[in-house]
Chain A
Amino acid sequence: AQSVAQPEDQVNVAEGNPLTVKCTYSVSGNPYLFWYVQYPNRGLQFLLKYITGDNLVKGSYGFEAEFNKSQTSFHLKKPSALVSDSALYFCAVLNTGFQKLVFGTGTRLLVSP
């Protein structure tokens, strides 16, 4: 079964500092990996995805993610955090059998001024 794990419930970072939100995956075959962000009382917003190609994927709002096949990781990164980046971040893998997303448990990012 395909799954993702987000080992950190919360990540704290000061505004202007780089941030990393961790995700590891377990899949059979080639993974289709995604990052979504959720603001309070809102739906999920798509940030970026890895399907194939370059291991460094660039997405919305200055976020990027690095796909590492040997470490089965897909960590989300941003060079300089903003207070407005504070939200709940979900890593997900696509079960290509019938297109369902399997989500991690989420990581709350708190960026302090």
Chain B
Amino acid sequence: DAGVTQSPTHLIKTRGQHVTLRCSPISGHKSVSWYQQVLGQGPQFIFQYYEKEERGRGNFPDRFSARQFPNYSSELNVNALLLGDSALYLCASSLLETQYFGPGTRLLVL
């Protein structure tokens, strides 16, 4: 079975631009969560979606938004990029309490 997939794997943007990251969950999983992992730190929760509805939001500015599609895939959008947005963005899907993570998208903002 395929695991969680994310695209792209790497991305370089400049300050002020916007970015869209994509995630496909494990087949049958209806919940998708997004995390930001800055170098040297543990992942920080950004959003959780279940059945296309936002169920939780972490302490991130409104520049961060997300959505979930009918096939349960998800997009994370970040507007007006800042240097501090450089990080590994992780997507996780879950059926019950265990979250399974994708390989992540590494975003570098110059």
Contact = CB atoms under 8 A, between A and B. Distances in A.
A and B bind: yes
Contacts of B62: none
A45 B43 CA distance: 13
Interface SS, B side: strand
Interface in A64-109: 90, 92, 94, 96-106
Interface residues of A, number: 25
B16 interface: no
A42 B58 CA distance: 23
Q: Classify chain B's interface size.
A: 20 to 34
B15 interface: no
Interface of B: 4, 6, 31, 33, 35, 41-45, 48, 50, 55-56, 58, 90, 92, 94, 97-104, 106
